[in-house]
Amino acid sequence: MTAIKENSTLNANRENNKATCPVSYVMSKIGGHWKPVILYHLMSGPKRYSELKKLIPAITEKMLIQHLKQMQQDVLVIRKAENIVPPFVTYSLSFEGEELKPILDAMVEWAFARDFKA
Amino acid sequence: MTAIKENSTLNANRENNKATCPVSYVMSKIGGHWKPVILYHLMSGPKRYSELKKLIPAITEKMLIQHLKQMQQDVLVIRKAENIVPPFVTYSLSFEGEELKPILDAMVEWAFARDFKA
DNA sequence: ACAAGTACTTACCCCAAAGTATGTAAGATG
DNA sequence: CATCTTACATACTTTGGGGTAAGTACTTGT
């Protein structure tokens, strides 16, 4: 969510790619180190913030909420908070988030068809 | 192809993800700003280095060969050089590179099902 | 002799993404 | 009353991906 500087070729290239290449567009939504992992875990159903944290031990809390927030803005995930204390917040895939499944499934299939060993 | 420092949590996390999450594994192969674009152009058949350069004007030569080299190492693309001068080098998708099509196709479909406008 | 073309290579720099560390609200529980 | 829990927030630092710019080898065309 950090502010973005305007005048840099780097960012110009990025914006240009997102605008002209559908694949880059998708990458801008689900790329990076953590988004796919988070999405993967949400595929198996809604999860609490703390559950996600436990499922992905290596992620820091900062990264976790940062990406959850971004994906909320991109309407890939839905945040639902019970107004109680201690807080109870669940994250789930939106309709458009669910529609990412074919992509991720294709990726998983490809990975296992190669040298990937879980 | 720049050297990679060993002892950093950043890289440790990356390696860990690649090893444990199939989606991250795929991302490590085709992620980044340029790899998908290059692959996309190779989908329509083998291309010379200079052709790729013309097809992707925004890319710098450094990035182009860097990623072509990486994808060679990952056996996604095949490099074929005629031993003549001026050089004549063609890049094409390997079998495993071709098998990325379903993934990229799924991405394109998803992009157009959303607000993406070419 | 000099520019042009092709496929690179190399050195240097910059910045945004990711990591580290610490703090906060508000009620439940002992 | 002090600690625990949950779901964050935020300041500060690091790092590696990408950008810029320049050079190289070898031949052909003028």
> CATH number of the domain that A86 lies in?
1.10.10.10
Question: How high does pLDDT run on average in chain A?
Answer: 87
Per-residue pLDDT at B22: 87
The neighbour count for residue A116, using CB atoms within 10 Å, is 16
Per-residue pLDDT at A7: 40
Domain for residue A10, yes or no?
no
Domain for residue A100, yes or no?
yes
Domain for residue A6, yes or no?
no
What's the mean pLDDT in B35-50?
Answer: 95
B81 and A CB contact within 8 Å: no
Domain for residue A59, yes or no?
yes
Confidence grade of residue B1 (pLDDT, cut at 50, 70, 90):
very low
Retrieve residue A66's tokens: 């940062």
Residue A35 pLDDT > 50: yes
Segment B59-108, tens digit of pLDDT: 999 999 999 999 999 999 999 999 888 899 999 999 999 999 999 999 99
Residue B7 pLDDT > 60: no
Residue B110 pLDDT > 90: yes
Domain for residue B92, yes or no?
yes
Q: Tell me the C-alpha distance between B104 and B110, whole Å.
A: 10
A23 and B CB contact within 8 Å: yes
What's the mean pLDDT in A51-67?
Answer: 95
Domain assignment of residue B97, given as a range: 9-113
CB contact under 8 A, A58 and B31: no
What's the mean pLDDT in A69-83?
Answer: 96
Q: Tell me the C-alpha distance between B29 and B8, whole Å.
A: 21
Domain for residue A39, yes or no?
yes
Find the closest chain A residue to B27 by CA distance: A31
SS3 content of chain B, % helix, strand, coil (to 5): 55, 10, 30
Domain for residue A8, yes or no?
no
Q: How many structural domains is chain A composed of?
A: 1
Query: What residues are paired with A79 via a beta bridge?
Result: A91
Q: What is the three-class DSSP state of A23? A: helix
Residue A15 pLDDT > 70: no
* Strand C reaches within 7 A of the B48 CB: yes
Domain for residue B2, yes or no?
no
Per-residue pLDDT at A32: 85
A100 and B CB contact within 8 Å: yes
Could you give the percent of chain B with pLDDT greater than 70? 89
What's the mean pLDDT in A53-82?
Answer: 96
